[in-house]
């Protein structure tokens, strides 16, 4: 794959500083995870995929699994498969996800719903589970869904949101959270990895500070799961939500996951009381009786087809191990920062993600006023990052499917587009 990319981008690579290109080739050659790139579906015309934090690439094994599913349990077992395997899929897959990615013991993670719905259920359960408290702590730089959901819950329950306004190039700090905590705080909702800057919040310290104030904490792990090592149980996390279509490669619209610490499960009542969260779903009872444990946080019929691709990625992650994946992620993002500082800075591009890898997640965001146009032009060339307003180009570097020469070629195209614009100005 690396040779193919090098051949197809020889002209682009030749325009970059030779030491950087040589280092990219050396890093690919020394990468212990390089062979896993062959596990992903390859397509003609894709020069550099730099958006793995928006949508992970599909695995070849998933293509085969989907076909087997149609002919197998769906086609041959039909409705009998609910009793045989599908009813337990949300909790079984949740346990696998918890063990492989989240640092969570069995019985605390469930796969269901969309991120927005799961976020609403857990946030609403949390504020109702802290009677007498009427404040939520959140930040203005969080993903819109998180903010919108909290606005709706605050309006429903008559709550006040205490907004933190962090440095957009950084993220929410422990001191900023402490300044807003008090005896009226019911819930703190933050993203572990900021979706714009990739800043990694101090999850253990912020969680402990919230607990000292008597509040619960709900962590959004959308940009963490599969890219950053997590220890939810050891860090005494209360609640967490995340999507599975980024670094977990679940595919477009793949279901979300929710984590509820065992100590809280029987104390919290989730607000969307559907039949699948009932103690006896097929009893068709007159009144709702929540199931025991994590199953009570399910609402409707599980998205069985949507769960299939994630099984393949979790198997690969378990084989490789999160420490090795995180090490590759740090190496990729370190090199992206180096490339930007040396090859793009002459065109006034700024890195707006932390330079400290311990405070940086799996993506790097670059800033330039022309990046909206550049992103559209890159897509036409087969280079695929994403754009985040007002002028951010975000490089989502999925460790198992992204190579160093691939990354270098992608940023070479960025440099060329900016140079062409400058030369014609």
Q: Is residue 34 located within the same domain as residue 107? A: no
Which of 139, 220, 367, 386 does the annotation list as catalytic? 220
CA of residue 40 relative to chain centroid, distance? 19
Per-residue pLDDT of the chain (425 residues; tens, 9 = 90+): 444 454 568 889 998 999 999 999 999 999 999 999 999 999 999 999 999 999 999 999 999 999 999 999 999 999 999 999 999 999 999 999 999 999 999 999 999 999 999 999 999 999 999 999 999 999 999 999 999 999 999 999 999 999 999 998 899 999 999 999 999 999 999 999 999 999 999 999 999 999 999 999 999 999 999 999 999 999 999 999 999 999 999 999 999 999 999 999 999 999 999 999 999 998 899 999 999 999 999 999 999 999 999 999 999 999 999 999 999 999 999 999 999 999 999 999 999 999 999 999 999 999 999 999 999 999 999 999 999 999 999 999 999 999 999 999 999 999 999 999 888 86
What does the alpha-carbon distance between residue 409 and residue 9 come to, in Å, rounded to a whole number?
6
DSSP 261-276: -GGGTTT---S---GG
Please indicate, yes or no, whether residues 226 and 327 belong to a single structural domain of this protein.
no
Same structural domain, 47 and 94: no
DSSP state, 192?
A: S
Q: Which residues contact 79 (CB under 8 A, 6 or more apart)?
A: none
Clarify whether 120 is annotated catalytic. Answer: no
Domain hosting residue 278, numbered range:
62-317
- CATH code where residue 24 lies: 3.90.1150.10
Q: Could you tell me if 360 and 226 lie in one domain?
A: no
Task: Note if the pTM is more than 0.75.
Answer: yes
Q: Are residues 172 and 272 in the same domain?
A: yes
CATH number for the domain that contains residue 110: 3.40.640.10
151 and 244 housed in the same domain: yes
Residue 199 appears among annotated catalytic residues? no
53 shares a domain with 91:
no
**From 37, 121, 295, 394, active-site residue:** 394
What's the Rg (C-alpha) of the chain?
22
Q: Find the catalytic residue in 121, 124, 246, 388.
A: 246
Q: Are 279 and 337 part of one and the same domain?
A: no
Residue 138 pairs with which residues in a beta bridge?
163
Whether 245 is catalytic: yes
Q: Are residues 217 and 347 in the same domain?
A: no
User: How many domains would you assign to the chain?
Assistant: 2
Q: Are residues 245 and 362 in the same domain?
A: no
Of 199, 245, 257, 335, catalytic: 245
Confirm whether 328 is a catalytic residue.
no
Catalytic residue among 40, 49, 120, 143: 143
| Chosen domain end from 283, 317, 351 | 317
Which pairs count as long-range contacts for 9-15, CB under 8 Å and 24+ apart, including other chains?
9/47, 9/405, 9/409, 9/412, 12/409, 12/412, 12/413, 12/416, 13/405, 13/408, 13/409, 13/412, 15/412, 15/415, 15/416
Which of 277, 293, 317 is the last residue in one of the domains? 317
């Amino acid at each position: 794959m690396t040779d193919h990319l090098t051949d197809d981008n020889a002209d682009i690579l030749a325009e970059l500083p030779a030491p950087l290109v040589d280092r990219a080739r050396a890093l690919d050659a020394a990468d212990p995870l390089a062979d896993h790139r062959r596990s992903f579906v390859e397509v003609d015309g894709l020069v550099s995929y730099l958006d793995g934090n928006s949508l992970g690439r599909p695995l070849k094994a998933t293509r085969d699994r989907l076909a087997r599913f149609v002919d197998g349990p769906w086609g041959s077992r039909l409705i009998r498969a609910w009793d045989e395997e599908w009813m337990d899929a949300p909790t079984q897959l949740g346990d696998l996800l918890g063990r492989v990615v989240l640092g969570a013991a069995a019985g605390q993670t469930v796969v269901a719903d969309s991120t927005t719905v799961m976020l609403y259920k857990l946030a609403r359960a949390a504020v109702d589970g802290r009677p007498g408290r009427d404040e939520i702590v959140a930040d203005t730089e969080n993903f819109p869904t998180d903010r919108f959901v909290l606005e709706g819950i605050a309006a429903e329950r008559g709550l006040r949101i205490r907004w933190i306004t962090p440095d957009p190039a950084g993220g929410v700090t422990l001191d900023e959270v402490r300044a807003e905590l008090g005896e009226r705080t019911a819930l703190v909702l933050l993203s572990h990895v900021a979706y714009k800057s990739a800043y990694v919040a101090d999850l253990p310290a912020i969680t402990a500070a919230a607990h000292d104030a008597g509040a619960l904490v709900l962590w959004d792990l959308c940009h963490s799961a599969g890219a950053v090592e997590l220890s939810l149980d050891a860090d005494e996390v209360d609640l967490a939500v995340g999507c599975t279509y980024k670094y977990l490669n679940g595919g477009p619209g793949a279901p979300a996951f929710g984590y509820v610490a065992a100590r809280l499960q029987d104390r919290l009542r989730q607000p969307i009381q559907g039949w699948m969260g009932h103690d006896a779903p097929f009893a068709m009872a007159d009144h709702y009786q929540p199931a025991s444990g994590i199953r009570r946080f399910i609402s409707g019929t599980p998205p069985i087809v949507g769960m299939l691709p994630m099984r393949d990625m979790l198997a690969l992650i378990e084989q490789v191990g999160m420490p090795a994946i995180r090490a590759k992620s740090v190496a990729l993002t370190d090199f992206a920062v180096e490339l930007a500082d040396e090859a793009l800075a002459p065109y006034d591009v700024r890195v707006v993600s932390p330079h400290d890898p311990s405070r940086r997640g799996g993506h790097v965001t670059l800033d330039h006023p022309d990046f909206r146009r550049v992103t559209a032009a890159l897509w036409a060339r087969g280079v695929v990052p994403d754009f985040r307003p007002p002028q951010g180009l975000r490089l989502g570097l999925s460790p198992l499917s992204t190579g160093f020469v691939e990354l270098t070629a992608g940023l070479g195209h960025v440099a060329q587009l900016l140079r062409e614009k400058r030369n014609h100005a």
